[in-house]
Amino acid sequence: MSHVLEKPYNERLFSGGLVGGHHNSRFLWLRKQYDALAATQVSIVEIGCYDGRALQFIPREISRYAGFDAGYESSDGEGPTGIHAARRKYQGDARFGFHLSSSPADVERLEGEFDTALSLETFEHIAPDRVDGYIKALAKKVRGPVFVTVPSEKGIPLLVKTVGAALLRRDRNLGYGKGELWNSLLGRMDQVKRAEHKGFDYAALMESFRRHFRSVRCTGVRSCVPTSLQVTVGFVARNDQ
């Protein structure tokens, strides 16, 4: 897959406006989840850490952190991946580890357990045959809540994204085949060939989590919008209750 991009990752996603507000909403949601925890100190494992941006939104002291990322995009569009930027930023602090990885086995090999885990806008990019491996690894290594955000790529949210991208003159050509966009709008995701965002069904991912966690609660990212209308969905999976 080609990952040649017109603009650097952070500039493309977080430079402000509607697009920046949309992408920053997942971090604001994450901060609320950690705000609700009674613990003042937490250990964290993250799937899809990129440059460690999520760490800025954790309102708790971090006792241990392990971040994993496949390293598909560079931090500036040309040079090292975001994970290298994270290593430079946190170098010398033994609490933080950033791992270039695309295998759930690397998560399973971590020593000990973690209080919490997070994965923001990542599971839609993981190959379907590896998703269950990551979920099982998290269920094994995390004793507290797992916080996940993923996009909604069906129904009205998909329509909003498609029309919005056109109005903003942003390329969102996900390679839909004949009838696939229509089937996605109708929620018939079993008739859409998966290709990262295209054909991704957050409801199916939640069912996968339910096979390994006692509780999976969908919260949505923007509390003022019904879940069915959310363009980004958040959920919390737990085995500690």
> What's the pLDDT tens digit per position in 59-105?
999 999 999 999 887 655 555 688 998 999 999 999 999 999 999 99
Q: Are 82 and 3 in contact (CB under 8 A)?
A: no
Give the ranges where 90-127 is alpha helix by DSSP (H). Answer: 104-108
Q: How many CA atoms lie within 13 A of 166 on its CB side?
A: 5
How far is the C-alpha of 125 from the C-alpha of 205, rounded, in Å? 12
Q: What is the CA radius of gyration of the chain?
A: 18
Share of the chain above pLDDT 70, in %: 86
Domains in the chain, start-ordered, CATH in brackets? 9-152+201-238 (3.40.50.150), 154-199 (no CATH)
Structure tokens at 192: 């859409």
- What integer pLDDT is reported at residue 240 of this predicted model? 85
Using CA atoms, how far residue 94 sits from 65, 91, 200, in Å, is: 9, 8, 37
Using CA atoms, how far residue 88 sits from 77, 92, 97, 98, in Å, is: 17, 9, 11, 10
How far is the C-alpha of 6 from the C-alpha of 2, rounded, in Å? 12
Structure tokens at 168: 């903003």
Structure tokens at 151: 């996009």
Query: 0.85 exceeded by the pTM?
Result: yes
